[in-house]
Amino acid sequence: MTTRRDEIANHLRELITNGTYAPGDALPSRTTLMTTYNTSTATISAATKVLRDEGLVWRVANRGLIVQDLRPLYIDLSTATPPSGGRGPWETACHQAGRDGTMRLISVERGPAELEIARALQLSVGATVVRRDRHALVDGQVVMLDSAYYPLALVDDTPVAGSGKVDGGVLAALIAAGVLNPATARVRELVGARAATKDEAGVLRIRPGVFVLTAERVTLDGEAQPVELLRRTANPRRIRFQTDDLRLKTL
């Protein structure tokens, strides 16, 4: 049996899908929706919650419920996009796709490498690493969480070990510092999926338990020494991982 909540959610979803409410538009206020559908505030709240859980709209302070741009952004994991026009790699990739992207630095910490981190970076357990946590935003909403780890011994005298955002991107800074040679550097990637944790779901504005995309990339120098371990957790409605122009390997 279709409830009144479902009827309203279905109609609003149709209006979003057919472009009546375009990406970036605000839905009518709760009071207006109550009048339009001749129903209670509780029913309107329940109907719009359905749309929020589906990722069709999200709440913005002082604006209300904003329609999302549901076009996924394709990210090439193995490519470090050169900075352009004052933008870093993430901002450049978003700009090339016609989207407004921002990479927000959350924290930079130094600490002992736990077992999995040490193995990935070929370090001894407890060796000091630099961890940089960032949030990738598209059109003002967080769509991907980044945690990157670097051996302190390799990056101690570079901007990567500093507390600020690295202009032009981390890989560009490592290349400029002579830590990484793009002609000989290689990457190793692992892509997967799992249920979002409660904290991840809160930041990504999805329901806890919804599946997220995961990617782990290890960047190695010409001597096959790991320089960076990058872990990414992405909203699958907003992000797609891809790798282009790989050579076909034969056995």
The matching CATH number, chosen from 1.10.760.10, 1.20.140.10, 1.10.10.10, 1.10.10.60, for 4-67 is 1.10.10.10
Mean predicted lDDT score pLDDT of the chain: 89
Q: Report domain extents, the chain.
A: 4-67, 73-242
Q: What b/e string do you get for 196-218 counting C-beta neighbours within 10 Å, with b at 16 or more?
A: beeebbebbbbeeebebbbbbbb
Q: Count CB neighbours of 141 within 10 A.
A: 18
Q: What is the pLDDT of residues 45-89, one digit of tens each?
A: 999 999 987 778 888 888 899 898 877 888 876 665 566 666 788
What is the DSSP-derived secondary structure letter of residue 231?
Answer: E
Q: What is the pLDDT of residues 9-54, one digit of tens each?
A: 999 999 998 989 998 899 999 999 999 999 999 999 999 999 987 7
Amino acid at 165: K
For helices 30-37 and 41-53, what crossing angle results, to 10°? 110
Percent of the chain with pLDDT over 70: 94
What is the residue whose two structure tokens read 């282009």? Answer: 244
What is the residue whose two structure tokens read 């709760």? Answer: 30
Architecture of domain 73-242: 3-Layer(aba) Sandwich (3.40)
Which has more confidence, 245 or 118? 118
Q: Give the number of C-alpha atoms closer than 13 A to the C-alpha of residue 195, restricted to the C-beta side.
A: 5
pTM over 0.95: no
CB-based contact 192:212 (threshold 8 Å): no
